[in-house]
Amino acid sequence: GAGVSQSPSNKVTEKGKDVELRCDPISGHTALYWYRQSLGQGLEFLIYFQGNSAPDKSGLPSDRFSAERTGGSVSTLTIQRTQQEDSAVYLCASSLITGIPPTDTQYFGPGTRLTVL
């Protein structure tokens, strides 16, 4: 079946502009995660949505970052007033919540490569 999809695949923007990144999770997956992968830092957790619960925002680096998930499916990560240090690959993952590994594996999308000039 279809995997996690993300758009755009690449985004180049100017410092100070706002950007929106989109994630379409695997159909039926109730958990959705955003991670950021930057050179030298590895993969870092940003935000987590689980069903109708309040999202876990503990990984967001600043209040310029926000995310929403509409209808329990598609999610959008918004970065306001982008800075050069925001340049990274933004990865989305989704999973079932079964409590039984490995059926609760996180499946990753291909990522959006963001470059802030």
| Of the residues 31, 66, 74, 76, which one makes contact with another protein according to CB under 8 A | 31
Q: Is 28 in the site for another protein (CB under 8 A)?
A: no
CB of 95 to another protein, least distance (A): 4
Stretch that binds another protein, among 37-45, 61-69, 70-78, 80-88 (CB under 8 A): 37-45
Stretch that binds another protein, among 11-19, 63-71, 72-80, 89-97 (CB under 8 A): 89-97
CB of 55 to another protein, least distance (A): 11
Which residues does residue 47 pair with via DSSP β-bridges, in sequence order?
A: 34
Query: What is the length of the chain?
Result: 117
| Of the residues 7, 11, 22, 45, which one makes contact with another protein according to CB under 8 A | 45
Q: Is 91 in the site for another protein (CB under 8 A)?
A: yes
For 34-37, the CB contacts below 8 A with 24+ separation are: 34/67, 34/75, 34/77, 34/90, 34/91, 34/92, 35/90, 35/91, 35/92, 35/93, 36/88, 36/89, 36/90, 36/91, 37/88, 37/89, 37/90, 37/91, 37/111
Q: Is 73 in the site for another protein (CB under 8 A)?
A: no
Which residues does residue 62 pair with via DSSP β-bridges, in sequence order?
A: none
Q: Is 7 in the site for another protein (CB under 8 A)?
A: no
